């Protein structure tokens, strides 16, 4: 088989770039959008300049490039919880967790293409949109101009704010303190990312998220302060709304798994029988992944087996949910496995988080690969070349992401107002808790009942957005909500697709420069 070397090299480079800005943006807004459409436009523009390209080479490049985004998501949702608990993790440990989780997601997705894409023909909306963009081409370069222009805007914006300190002067910390509320502060600095992220997430999810923030900040907290249980709003938020919101997310995760995954477990077995003559290779790869976790990271072999089994199940569920709903709630899958492991085996905090990271990455990479394979099915791209491209993208991003996370934590302090990292905060609370508190338990009940109720009417995953809104700062929720409103208006005006490219470009530009400045600062500490 003739692999397009140029496409693989370009895809590896772009995977690192995507991982960089996705890590920064994801820590800032608590989510990572599917990068396939954006990378299709970028790949098309670069390969057109290089000349002698075709739609399948473009698809190979975007397949490798988009892998970096979901790999970054799996790490930022989990690994920072280690630092939040006052523990340490090494670059080598992050690398091996990335490789094992990423490879597991790829291996477990291989048999699913025939079942979910060919036979069931699940929609995979972003994969379908990616194919449509590549098929239509960009003869005048209009799409590329939109993306790259906003990448430039995001870069300049980030430099003015973080390096030249021009923009923070417009909204200094002192001026924030002078405001009657932090409602309009957006942290310690203004950012394009929450607005653009809200646009990409869409109006429904951001509206429910903001509804949770409204309930928390304007009803629950004031009531608690008024009855005298807490001395201040900050104390009320930390003591009540944080565990309540986290409980809602946990309850929603468990209920969602019961509704969506358990009915599919029987078909899971039949799906994997399709591996056919390659089943022996499949088994050898699984043993290798378990051995890599056990010996390279010096983990308990039981933890390694649970991690790979959890990755196996959640990659399947992640691939299916992505195909049906275009959402991959990968952090919820990680929480489910983590809670089960904690209750059944009582592993220490570091092992639990590394376990969660493997599961989270596997589910994310599986969802991303299935989006890409859907695009490839429409375009006629060789699926074996796409699988190889995904491997290249995962390996390239795995090498870079450890340095990126260390640099971001050093420069901005993950978990602070600048990089709130809501999923990692929730994960650290679950791992660090000796037992379920009453408030957390109430949240679990609310989340469970909410998912069960919404399952009959609409998308039950919306309950997760409400729970996140309850416990994250409202200065993050408001710009996300505004971005969602902008998306609603754009859809009414027929501007949604162009707006999507503009929003993606703004995130890429600001996130990329944010990481570059952090990496420079991180490197200077060793000089």
pLDDT value at 280 more than 70: no
pLDDT value at 188 more than 60: no
pLDDT number for residue 174: 41
Nearest to 241 by CA among 468, 435, 432, 77: 468
Angstrom distance (rounded) from CA 329 to CA 332:
6
pLDDT number for residue 305: 83
pLDDT value at 236 more than 60: no
424-450 mean pLDDT: 83
Q: 272 burial class (0-12, 13-18, 19+ CB within 10 angstroms)?
A: middle
pLDDT number for residue 340: 80
Q: 250 burial class (0-12, 13-18, 19+ CB within 10 angstroms)?
A: buried
Of 169-173, 358-362, 490-494, the range with the lowest mean pLDDT is 169-173
378-384 mean pLDDT: 90
Confidence of residue 476 (pLDDT cuts 50, 70, 90): confident
Task: Give helix 125-136 / helix 349-379 axis angle, nearest 10°.
Answer: 40
pLDDT number for residue 75: 95
Question: Which tokens hold the place of 127?
Answer: 């994969």
Between 57 and 116, residue with greater pLDDT: 57
* Percentage of the chain lying above the pLDDT 70 cut: 86
Question: Which tokens hold the place of 33?
Answer: 């959008």
365-379 mean pLDDT: 92
122-138 mean pLDDT: 85
pLDDT number for residue 179: 36
- Beta-carbon count within 10 A of 268 CB: 18
pLDDT value at 281 more than 70: no
510-518 mean pLDDT: 88
Q: For the chain, percent helix, then strand, then coil, each to nearest 5?
A: 80, 0, 20
> Angle at the Cα of 515 (from 143 to 40), degrees rounded to 5?
25
pLDDT tens digits, 458-469? 677 788 889 888
pLDDT number for residue 301: 82
Confidence of residue 418 (pLDDT cuts 50, 70, 90): confident
pLDDT value at 39 more than 80: yes
pLDDT value at 273 more than 70: no
pLDDT value at 235 more than 70: no
pLDDT value at 277 more than 80: no
pLDDT number for residue 77: 92
* Percentage of the chain lying above the pLDDT 90 cut: 29
Angstrom distance (rounded) from CA 20 to CA 18:
5
Angstrom distance (rounded) from CA 512 to CA 30:
17
Helix (H, G, I), strand (E, B) or coil at 111: coil
pLDDT tens digits, 302-319? 878 888 888 877 787 788
Q: How far is CA 399 from CA 14, 72, 98, in A?
A: 13, 11, 9
Question: Which tokens hold the place of 113?
Answer: 């293409």
Phi-psi domain of 421 (left: phi exceeds 0; alpha: psi -120 through 50; beta: other) = left
6-11 mean pLDDT: 93
pLDDT number for residue 457: 62
Question: Which tokens hold the place of 150?
Answer: 């906003």
Q: 521 burial class (0-12, 13-18, 19+ CB within 10 angstroms)?
A: middle
pLDDT tens digits, 195-230? 998 898 889 889 999 999 999 888 888 877 777 665
Of 245-254, 356-365, 412-421, 429-438, the range with the lowest mean pLDDT is 429-438
Nearest to 394 by CA among 126, 100, 112: 100
Q: Given the structure tokens 């903001």, which residue do they identify?
A: 210
DSSP assignment of 40-87, as one string?
HHHHHHHHHHH-S--HHHHHHHHHHHHHHHHHHHHHHTTTHHHHHTT-
Angstrom distance (rounded) from CA 144 to CA 137:
10
Confidence of residue 336 (pLDDT cuts 50, 70, 90): confident
pLDDT value at 259 more than 70: yes
pLDDT number for residue 521: 81
Of 94-103, 231-240, 424-433, the range with the lowest mean pLDDT is 231-240
CA dihedral 186, 188, 192, 197 (to 10 degrees): -50
18-27 mean pLDDT: 92
Sign of CA dihedral 50, 54, 58, 61: negative
pLDDT number for residue 187: 40
pLDDT number for residue 404: 94
Of 52-61, 99-108, 271-280, 329-338, the range with the lowest mean pLDDT is 271-280
Confidence of residue 231 (pLDDT cuts 50, 70, 90): low
pLDDT value at 486 more than 90: yes
* Helices then strands, each counted (H, E), the chain: 25, 0
């Amino acid at each position: 088989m003739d692999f397009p070397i140029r496409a693989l090299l370009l895809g590896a480079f772009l995977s690192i770039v995507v991982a960089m800005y996705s890590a920064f943006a994801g820590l800032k807004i608590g989510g990572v959008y599917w990068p396939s459409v954006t990378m299709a436009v970028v790949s098309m523009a670069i390969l057109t300049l290089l000349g002698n390209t075709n739609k399948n080479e473009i698809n190979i490049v975007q397949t490798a490039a988009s892998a970096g985004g979901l790999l970054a998501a799996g790490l930022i949702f989990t690994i920072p919880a280690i630092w939040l608990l006052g523990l340490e993790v090494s670059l080598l440990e992050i690398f091996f967790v990335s490789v094992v989780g990423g490879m597991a997601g790829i291996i477990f997705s291989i048999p699913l293409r025939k079942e979910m894409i060919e036979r069931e023909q699940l929609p995979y909306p972003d994969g379908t949109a990616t194919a449509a963009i590549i098929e239509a081409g960009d003869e005048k370069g209009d799409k590329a101009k939109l993306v790259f222009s906003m990448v430039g805007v995001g870069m300049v914006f980030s430099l003015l704010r973080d390096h030249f300190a021009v923009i923070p002067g417009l909204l200094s910390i002192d001026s924030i303190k002078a405001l009657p509320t932090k409602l309009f502060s957006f942290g310690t600095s203004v950012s394009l990312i929450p607005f653009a992220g809200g646009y990409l997430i869409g109006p429904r999810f951001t509206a429910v998220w903001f509804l949770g923030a409204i309930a928390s900040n304007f009803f629950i907290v004031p009531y608690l302060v008024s009855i005298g249980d807490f001395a201040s709003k900050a104390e009320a938020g930390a003591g009540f709304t944080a565990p309540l919101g986290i409980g809602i997310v946990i309850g929603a995760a468990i209920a969602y798994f019961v509704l969506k995954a358990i009915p599919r477990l029987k078909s899971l077995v039949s799906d994997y029988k399709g591996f056919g003559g390659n089943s022996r290779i499949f088994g050898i790869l699984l043993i290798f992944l378990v051995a890599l976790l056990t010996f390279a990271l010096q983990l308990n072999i039981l933890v390694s087996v649970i991690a790979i089994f959890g990755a196996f199940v959640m990659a399947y569920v992640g691939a299916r949910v992505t195909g049906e709903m275009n959402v991959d709630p990968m952090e919820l899958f990680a929480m489910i496995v983590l809670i089960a492991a904690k209750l059944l085996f009582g592993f220490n905090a570091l092992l639990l988080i590394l376990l969660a990271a493997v599961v989270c990455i596997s589910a994310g990479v599986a969802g991303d690969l299935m989006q890409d394979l859907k695009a490839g099915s429409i375009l006629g791209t060789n699926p074996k070349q796409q699988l190889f491209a995904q491997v290249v993208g995962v390996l390239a991003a795995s090498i870079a992401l450890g340095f990126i996370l260390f640099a971001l934590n050093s420069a901005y302090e993950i978990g602070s107002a600048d990089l709130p990292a809501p999923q990692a905060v929730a994960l650290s609370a679950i791992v660090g808790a000796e037992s379920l508190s009453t408030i957390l338990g109430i949240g679990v009940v609310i989340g469970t009942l909410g998912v069960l109720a919404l399952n009959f009417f609409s998308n039950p995953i919306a309950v997760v957005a409400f729970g996140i809104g309850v416990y994250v700062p409202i200065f993050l929720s408001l710009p996300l909500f505004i971005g969602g409103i902008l998306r609603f208006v754009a859809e009414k005006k027929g501007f949604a697709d162009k707006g999507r490219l503009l929003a993606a470009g703004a995130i890429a530009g600001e996130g990329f420069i944010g990481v570059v400045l952090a990496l420079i600062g991180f490197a200077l500490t060793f000089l």
